[in-house]
Chains A and B, each alone.
Chain A
Amino acid sequence: MSDLPPYPPLDPSNYDLIVVGTGVSESVSAAAASSSGSSVLHLDPNPFYGSHFAALSLPDLTSFLHSNSVSPPPSSPPIPPSNSHELISVDLVHRSLYSSVEISSFDSEILEEHSRRFNVDLCGPRVVFCADESINLMLKSGANNYVEFKSIEASFVGDSSGELRNVPDSRAAIFKSKSLTLLEKNLLMKFFKLVQSQLAKSDDDTTTVKISEEDMESPFVDFLTKMRLPPNIKSIILYAIAMLDYDQDNMETCRHLLKTKEGIDRLALYIKSMGRFSNALGALIYPIYGQGELPQAFCRRAAVKGCVYVLRMPITALLLDKETGGYKGVRLASGQEIFSQKLILDPCINVGLESLSSLTDQQNETLRVLVPKAMINKEKIARGICVIRGSVKSDVSNALIVYPPKSLFPEQLTAIRVLQLGSGLAVCPADMHVLYFSTLCKNDDQGIKALLSAMGNLIRLPVPESDSVVENVTCEAKPLLLWRALYVQELVKGEFGGVISSMPSPDENLNYKETVESAVKLYEQIMGSEELFKEETSLENTTEENEGGVEIDEN
């Protein structure tokens, strides 16, 4: 980036808020702050929008993963705090989110030819639920005007046999399902009806309680058992509808045992998503041109409201008041110093430990959220991207596949999710598909092993690898692998630190529910419980007008 032409100095150099990084949470905050009338400077060190949520071409993705998988050496020796100032400057370091990055191309020629026709997500597999908070926020902010969606046509549950069975997630799907017995259909529909009546109940809140308080507090998996649901259906509900990660039947390895209450909430989101847009085929939609469109839409919204954007502009240091230790501003890579009341940072931006030692307690307190936490016993998420020729299921282009825990191999501790996307979403050339894989893991090896197992289940490798878990490489029906990326991403939570806040990394979830909810919460803390996008007061109008605006093409 050093060969880029120098930026002209920014003017003004004083803002209410500086946001660094253009991920979803940062962009929502920038848009919300701008629309509430604050002056906002939005910076990103990268030449593209989206940060860790960006959709990139294959070469860009490759270089992004590589450059973010090793901590770059400090760019320059720390500049000694200049005494001419009343300010002290603290150097920032870049934390790498990714590890075990391995990218292999099996047909470079073809990929080279089409390389710019790919829009590949960094944070995949990821979709939007129609009733998801992110859609609400887009409608509320008007960001929906900049994005178009299409439906994920089908959702499947897979296992080691290689067979993909439709997820019976609606009345019609249960009716059509070929894999459920009559009694299973009956029990499953009964259960859905119970959930629906439970949801209807909370709306008029006078009718009798359908699910007892005791059941609501009990583990969801036990409740499903109580409802006489057989194991295969329980597994569909837990992992392919409620989208849980951990094996709910294994107390030792399950880090999050879901309560019935939470389970019902998750099903509620799914059920509401199914019916929300009449032209959507199911609960899940995906933005055309990739997930990068989402943060970008919020950025555009922010720009319309006066937010200033500068890409390719890292910040190198924070400026603190020498006396009080309070935050004053940032130093850009261009050397310019910019001041603001508040600061929101990308999760990769940390304070170097060596810098901390020389600071006062006051100053340390200001920088609290930027101090790297010890990463003991923290789960990570293993992600994989495959470009394939053909489709994993004939007649279906955009589909979600879930491998529940233990479905692929006995030691599989967490669910593996796979999302296949086709050229209809403008993410790849016409005869190919992009497949995203993800699973939670304790360590890199475990995660990569699980992903490879799922890949082997769906895809044919051009060259059988000696150490591969893949067994059925001879299966001719499977689509051919052209390109593959494997990487493990750290999960960093967002943190509110008064004046300086740090935003979360992409989470392990399939949707943006938690990301957006935490962004909203953080924003409210930062800006003082100010309601997001309150300016768009005629909410009812906007929603109605825009309901069709979340365009979901039938084709």
Chain B
Amino acid sequence: MHGRPRKASKPEEEAASAAKAVKLRSLQSQFMTYHHDKIYTKEAIELSTKLLEINPEAYTAWNYRKLAVEDSLSRIGPDPSLVKPILDEELRVVENALKQNFKSYGAWHHRKWVLSKGHSSTGNELKLLDKFQKLDSRNFHAWNYRRFVVELTNRSEQDELQYTDDMINNNFSNYSAWHNRSVLLSSLLANRADGFVPEKKIPDEYEIVHQAIFTDPDDQSGWFYHLWLLDQTVNVESPLLTSSWPSHGSSVILSGAGCFNGSPSNFTTFCSETGSFPLILYFDQAVGGVSSLTVTLDSELKGNENLVWEPISNKSSQVSCVWVARLNFSSQPCGSKDYKVKVRLGNSPGIVSSRGFNFSAPYEFVFTAHVHDPAKDSQERIVSWTDGFELWDAQSKDLNSLVTLGQLNAGIDLKWRQAAIDSEIECFRLLADSKIGKLTLARLLMASEAMMSDAAVKGVHYEEILQLYNDLMALDSSHHHYYKDEHSVAFLHKVTSSSESLSRYLFRYRDMNNLVCLRLNKLSLSRIASVNKLLFVQMLDLSHNELHSTEGLEAMQLLSCLNLSHNRIRSFSALDSLRHVKQLKVLDVSHNHIGKHSVDTTRYLCSSPLSNSDLSQDDVRRQNPGLVTKYWDAYFVLRDLNLKQLDIAGNEIAGDEFNSFVLQVVPKLVWLNGQKPGN
């Protein structure tokens, strides 16, 4: 069935096929007449049989037969001895059609339909399937149908698993068999069928797939299964909290509008015009159901009894990895008073992952808030990214409290998972001369790092991972972008793996109350990662990289200054995630590619946002509908931000027209492209 060359047809064959087409057309037109007139006589049904035997793809004919069967069933009543011959005839027609083309969707579907009526022997179906699957062991139609039939029988999943064993032994280059294996195993493991515990079965499966991968590394089917196994090993079912801001045991200094001129040694200073600060929860997978019912707060800060939790996600769904609530501190009396806040979650059910698993391990964390008077600082000075930075000389314990993660790995059956990954790493070092071998090794090493809890050895793999991705970029240029992204992810994991490595990139910005600034510039990053460990960052320099989008930054709710200059941003849509960062005041997107590419692919993903009647008409849209239509992506992003300073110079889009449009959309803007507007 596979790998057979197509033969050019000979003239006589072409003539035969032309004759067949004529015959088929006349059959078809006769058939359509019967169908439209709802004629279900014996003669009419036989005609459809003939048609389907020649062309099993005639979907209408299959539907006609369904109607015809329903028609005759309605007339003969429920007597099984009368019903069965009618259904058997259908099975016979399908079988003939499948002999003609056993990849006919219509035929397989019709067979399912007949079977679902009952009355037919599922045993016969399995025998028939064995025959088909012997002829073409990879035919996914047959495999699909097999799953359907097995569901109708009481054949055990173990037996079916054995069947995939046999098929794989026969020829392991069989995606369908491996796939069915993953389906069956998922179910057996989820139901905890006897002997089917992941810590035993998953390593066994690794052993099997190794045989395939090592025998023929060029065959992809085994690699796909390996990827699935790796996923089973790494991913824990129930969601976990990976980090929060403020983090456990930390202190934050809160003040109102303007800037607080307090002691710079104490680290997290947060100023807010609204008198509130964000409480951020970062989960390892998208969850829903975060609310004041599922997250309880014991707080000395008054007025936070019914917190509103918001998912921070680009998609307007109710699941997200990141959830934010805003805690009010403005009603507190001022003065250097400490308020303790205790956050508890997991005590009552309700936080559920998108795959349906409960956040089940109860967890709590405590932080201290110092509320200070707001300082008077109305000077709207320009933020410069070139000077005013000092390497941050923080004590490592201060840093530790920032990057130490809360619940990670607590109470998880990590032992077998780590053991499995370790033995995989050892195994795949042997295959590291192939591309897929290198990639798998890199993935395994990343997985190993993710599971490490021992600080002493954490981070040992990153150099190797980065080297592997570098090798891959050189070896396999067609997947360069993917490797580049993975390289960036690994690099950022490395940076955030310890407070020591992170501190090399941390600075304080003198001019703005010693804001904590993370400078990850000139690192040729193409993707953002590890944001969960960077929630405390207030100023972020990502200039001179290769970023295409700001995706991931939405979790950084404290971020007030962001430098994205000299990157590869192609449109304002790529900055969409920043709309969630309410604190953002300073944005530099100069020297990117905004407006350079006339075709913006992201546009096709949106269904004409301007026609959406939900969006309220504002002044800008009323006054300048033409410009809004022209710069709609900029309009949607900038409208939702509270920017004071924006740099867009060095982009195609920049120009007088756009500048004036920006000023209309963001009237509060103080600095545009380094100048005060109006000057």
CA distance A182 to B429 in the complex (A): 12
Are the C-beta atoms of A172 and B172 separated by less than 8 Å? yes
Q: Does A189 contact B (CB under 8 A)?
A: yes
Residues facing B in A167-183 (CB within 8 A) are 171-172, 174-176, 182-183
Q: Does A250 contact B (CB under 8 A)?
A: no
Please name all residues of chain B whose beta carbon is closer than 8 Å to the beta carbon of A175 when the two chains form the complex. 169, 172, 211-212, 215
Q: Does A185 contact B (CB under 8 A)?
A: yes
Are the C-beta atoms of B170 and A185 separated by less than 8 Å? no
Are the C-beta atoms of A183 and B211 separated by less than 8 Å? no
Q: Does A104 contact B (CB under 8 A)?
A: no
Interface of A is mostly: helix
Please name all residues of chain A whose beta carbon is closer than 8 Å to the beta carbon of B171 when the two chains form the complex. 171-172
Please name all residues of chain A whose beta carbon is closer than 8 Å to the beta carbon of B210 when the two chains form the complex. 182
Instruction: Tell which of A172, A183, A185, A186 touches B169, judged by Cβ atoms closer than 8 Å.
Output: A172
CA distance A176 to B431 in the complex (A): 19
Contacts A172-B169, A172-B170, A172-B171; A186 near B212 (Cβ below 8 A): no
B211 to chain A, nearest CB (A): 5
Instruction: Tell which of B170, B172, B173, B215 touches A186, judged by Cβ atoms closer than 8 Å.
Output: B215
Instruction: Tell which of A174, A176, A186 touches B217, judged by Cβ atoms closer than 8 Å.
Output: A186
CA distance A176 to B427 in the complex (A): 18
Are the C-beta atoms of B430 and A174 separated by less than 8 Å? no
Q: Does B505 contact A (CB under 8 A)?
A: no
Q: Does B471 contact A (CB under 8 A)?
A: no
Instruction: Tell which of B169, B214, B216, B430 touches A176, judged by Cβ atoms closer than 8 Å.
Output: B169
B313 to chain A, nearest CB (A): 43
Are the C-beta atoms of A182 and B430 separated by less than 8 Å? yes
CA distance A495 to B608 in the complex (A): 91
Contacts A171-B216, A172-B169, A172-B171; A186 near B211 (Cβ below 8 A): no
Residues facing A in B185-229 (CB within 8 A) are 210-212, 214-217
Instruction: Tell which of B169, B173, B214, B216 touches A182, judged by Cβ atoms closer than 8 Å.
Output: B214
CA distance A175 to B171 in the complex (A): 9
Are the C-beta atoms of B172 and A183 separated by less than 8 Å? no
Please name all residues of chain A whose beta carbon is closer than 8 Å to the beta carbon of B172 when the two chains form the complex. 171-172, 175
A20 to chain B, nearest CB (A): 49
Please name all residues of chain A whose beta carbon is closer than 8 Å to the beta carbon of B215 when the two chains form the complex. 171, 174-175, 185-186, 189
Please name all residues of chain B whose beta carbon is closer than 8 Å to the beta carbon of A189 when the two chains form the complex. 214-216
B277 to chain A, nearest CB (A): 55
CA distance A175 to B170 in the complex (A): 9
Residue in chain A with minimal CB distance to B434? A186
CA distance A172 to B170 in the complex (A): 6
CA distance A185 to B210 in the complex (A): 10
Please name all residues of chain A whose beta carbon is closer than 8 Å to the beta carbon of B427 when the two chains form the complex. 182
Interface string of A182-208 (1 = CB under 8 A from B): 110110010000000000000000000
CA distance A7 to B511 in the complex (A): 126
Contacts A172-B169, A175-B172, A176-B169; A183 near B212 (Cβ below 8 A): no
Please name all residues of chain B whose beta carbon is closer than 8 Å to the beta carbon of A183 when the two chains form the complex. 214, 430
CA distance A174 to B219 in the complex (A): 14
Interface string of B161-179 (1 = CB under 8 A from A): 0000000011111000000
CA distance A247 to B427 in the complex (A): 34
Please name all residues of chain B whose beta carbon is closer than 8 Å to the beta carbon of A176 when the two chains form the complex. 169, 211
Residue in chain B with minimal CB distance to A181? B214
CA distance A182 to B210 in the complex (A): 7
Please name all residues of chain A whose beta carbon is closer than 8 Å to the beta carbon of B216 when the two chains form the complex. 171, 189
Quick one: which of A171, A172, A182, A185 has the most chain B CB within 10 A?
A: A182
Quick one: which of B171, B214, B216 has the most chain A CB within 10 A?
A: B214
Interface string of A145-180 (1 = CB under 8 A from B): 000000000000000000000000001101110000
Please name all residues of chain A whose beta carbon is closer than 8 Å to the beta carbon of B431 when the two chains form the complex. 186
B62 to chain A, nearest CB (A): 33
Interface string of A395-414 (1 = CB under 8 A from B): 00000000000000000000
B1 to chain A, nearest CB (A): 13
Residue in chain B with minimal CB distance to A177? B211
A514 to chain B, nearest CB (A): 32
Residue in chain B with minimal CB distance to A187? B214
Residue in chain A with minimal CB distance to B428? A182
Residue in chain B with minimal CB distance to A183? B430
Please name all residues of chain A whose beta carbon is closer than 8 Å to the beta carbon of B212 when the two chains form the complex. 175
CA distance A174 to B217 in the complex (A): 13
Please name all residues of chain B whose beta carbon is closer than 8 Å to the beta carbon of A171 when the two chains form the complex. 171-173, 215-216
Please name all residues of chain A whose beta carbon is closer than 8 Å to the beta carbon of B430 when the two chains form the complex. 182-183, 186
CA distance A189 to B169 in the complex (A): 16
CA distance A472 to B270 in the complex (A): 85
CA distance A174 to B214 in the complex (A): 10
CA distance A31 to B442 in the complex (A): 66
Interface string of A228-262 (1 = CB under 8 A from B): 00000000000000000000000000000000000
A450 to chain B, nearest CB (A): 34
B203 to chain A, nearest CB (A): 15
Residues facing B in A441-490 (CB within 8 A) are none
Residues facing A in B143-183 (CB within 8 A) are 169-173
B658 to chain A, nearest CB (A): 57
Residue in chain A with minimal CB distance to B211? A175
Please name all residues of chain B whose beta carbon is closer than 8 Å to the beta carbon of A186 when the two chains form the complex. 214-215, 217, 430-431
CA distance A185 to B212 in the complex (A): 9
CA distance A407 to B580 in the complex (A): 74
Quick one: which of B172, B215, B430 has the most chain A CB within 10 A?
A: B215
Interface string of B122-145 (1 = CB under 8 A from A): 000000000000000000000000
Interface string of A361-394 (1 = CB under 8 A from B): 0000000000000000000000000000000000
CA distance A113 to B173 in the complex (A): 50
Are the C-beta atoms of B217 and A185 separated by less than 8 Å? no
Please name all residues of chain B whose beta carbon is closer than 8 Å to the beta carbon of A172 when the two chains form the complex. 169-172
Residue in chain A with minimal CB distance to B170? A172
CA distance A172 to B171 in the complex (A): 6
CA distance A171 to B211 in the complex (A): 10
B231 to chain A, nearest CB (A): 22
Residue in chain A with minimal CB distance to B218? A193
Please name all residues of chain B whose beta carbon is closer than 8 Å to the beta carbon of A185 when the two chains form the complex. 211, 214-215
B324 to chain A, nearest CB (A): 48
CA distance A183 to B428 in the complex (A): 10
Residue in chain B with minimal CB distance to A182? B214
Interface string of A261-294 (1 = CB under 8 A from B): 0000000000000000000000000000000000
Please name all residues of chain A whose beta carbon is closer than 8 Å to the beta carbon of B211 when the two chains form the complex. 175-176, 182, 185
CA distance A186 to B436 in the complex (A): 14
Please name all residues of chain A whose beta carbon is closer than 8 Å to the beta carbon of B170 when the two chains form the complex. 172
CA distance A28 to B456 in the complex (A): 78
CA distance A175 to B177 in the complex (A): 15
Residue in chain A with minimal CB distance to B216? A189
B553 to chain A, nearest CB (A): 43
CA distance A176 to B166 in the complex (A): 11
B4 to chain A, nearest CB (A): 13
Please name all residues of chain B whose beta carbon is closer than 8 Å to the beta carbon of A182 when the two chains form the complex. 210-211, 214, 427, 430
B424 to chain A, nearest CB (A): 12
Residue in chain A with minimal CB distance to B430? A183
A194 to chain B, nearest CB (A): 13
Quick one: which of A171, A172, A174, A186 has the most chain B CB within 10 A?
A: A186
**8 A-B interface contacts by CB (under 8 A):** A171-B172, A174-B215, A176-B169, A182-B214, A182-B427, A182-B430, A186-B214, A186-B215
* Contacts from A to B (Cβ < 8 Å): 171-172, 174-176, 182-183, 185-186, 189
Known: A171-B215, A175-B169, A186-B214. 16 other contacts (CB 8 A): A171-B171, A171-B172, A171-B173, A172-B170, A172-B171, A172-B172, A174-B215, A175-B215, A182-B210, A182-B430, A183-B214, A185-B215, A186-B217, A186-B430, A186-B431, A189-B214
- What are the 4 tightest A-B residue pairs by CB atom distance, in nearest-first order? A182-B214, A186-B214, A185-B214, A185-B215
